[in-house]
């Protein structure tokens, strides 16, 4: 299918013109036993979702809005590793089809020149303490121009086209992302998280820097030390206490 080299990732594609959210469709497919590697791609989302209940702006024909179903046999606390793995795959795909150099902001934002070009939202379906499926939602801003963005997003969001000065072929980008993601996923299942962690850290911007992490229970300011084996962020605060942060918004100083 369009020159895809994968064994399973993207071998079943549900292509939709307009949806509320590809996550919602992928959840239903996963519940109905869809095969591992099944993908939902839409031209537009009218109710795209971001992390922390935020809205994900997903206008028609300009971006890549997709959700991927994986069925790894891993314990639930390891699921965040897959978010980091997906971020590495998307960074590599962006590097393959453009001339720009993206960076990752923990856990899953991909930035170019400090502005967000991609968000990743990982959700689980689990039974008891077993993962039934992991739904990885990936939103990549591809061919938007600055005037396409609402005013409030212009200082924080960008697109591959704005940053590279070219139109980007979305099919090329999707194909590359599938190839990279499958490769990294197989590496992960075979060798564990360490090789992924090293790649992730090589693209990360926040490591070693002073950051403020805003969590639901308050803010922590300190130096980002790195990530744990489970993909959790370690921050050393100004008193030398090391915190492990599972979910937060990060602000760089």
116 belongs to an annotated ligand binding site:
yes
100 makes contact with ligand BTN (CB under 6 A): no
Nearer Cβ to ligand BTN (89/121): 121
Residue 175 vs 237, nearer CB to ligand BTN: 175
How many C-alpha atoms does 94 have within 13 Å on its Cβ side?
30
51 is in an annotated binding site: yes
* Binding flag, residue 5, ligand BTN (CB under 6 A): no
Burial category of 226 from C-beta neighbours within 10 Å (exposed 0-12, middle 13-18, buried 19 and up): middle
Q: Which residues contact 165 (CB under 8 A, 6 or more apart)?
A: none
22 counts as binding ligand BTN under rule CB under 6 A: yes
CB nearer to ligand BTN: pick between 109 and 163: 109
**CB under 6 A: which stretch of 49-57, 73-81, 172-180, 181-189 binds ligand BTN?**
49-57
65 interacts with ligand BTN by CB under 6 A: yes
Give Cα 68 to chain centroid, integer Å.
11
Element (H, E) at 97: helix 80-97
The residues pairing with 44 across neighbouring beta strands, listed in sequence order, are 18
Which residue's Cβ has the minimum distance to ligand BTN? 119
CB of 54 to ligand BTN, least distance (A): 6
CB of 67 to ligand BTN, least distance (A): 5
Phi, psi of 8 (to 5 degrees): -135, -25
Phi/psi of residue 43, nearest 5 degrees: -75, -25
50 known ligand binder:
yes
CB of 75 to ligand BTN, least distance (A): 24
- Determine the Cα–Cα distance for residues 97 and 170; give it in Å rounded to an integer: 9
CB atoms within 10 A of CB 104: 25
Binding ligand BTN by CB under 6 A: which of 80, 137, 222, 231? 137
| Annotated binding-site residue numbers for biotin | 45, 49-51, 116
């Amino acid at each position: 299918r369009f020159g895809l080299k994968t064994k399973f990732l993207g071998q079943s594609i549900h292509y939709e013109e307009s949806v509320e959210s590809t996550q919602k469709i992928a959840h239903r497919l996963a519940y109905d036993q869809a095969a591992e590697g099944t993908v939902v791609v839409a031209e537009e989302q009218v109710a795209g979702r971001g992390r922390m209940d935020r809205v994900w702006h997903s206008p028609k024909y300009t971006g890549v809005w997709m959700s991927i179903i994986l069925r790894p046999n891993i314990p639930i606390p390891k699921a965040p590793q897959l978010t980091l793995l997906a971020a590495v795959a998307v960074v590599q795909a962006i590097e393959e089809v453009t001339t720009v150099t993206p960076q990752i902001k923990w856990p899953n934002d991909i930035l170019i020149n400090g502005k967000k070009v991609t968000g990743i939202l990982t959700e689980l379906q689990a039974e008891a303490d077993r993962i039934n499926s992991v739904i990885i939602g990936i939103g990549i801003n591809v061919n938007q121009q600055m005037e396409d963005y609402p005013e409030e997003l212009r200082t924080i969001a960008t697109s591959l086209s704005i940053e590279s000065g070219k139109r980007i072929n979305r099919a090329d980008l999707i194909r590359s992302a599938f190839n990279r993601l499958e490769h990294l996923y197989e590496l992960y299942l075979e060798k564990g998280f360490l090789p992924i962690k090293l790649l992730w850290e090589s693209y990360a911007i926040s490591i070693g820097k002073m950051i403020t992490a805003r969590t639901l229970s308050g803010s922590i300011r300190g130096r980002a030390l790195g990530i744990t084996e489970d993909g959790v962020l370690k921050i050393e605060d100004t008193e030398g206490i090391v915190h492990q942060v599972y979910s937060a918004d990060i602000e760089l100083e």
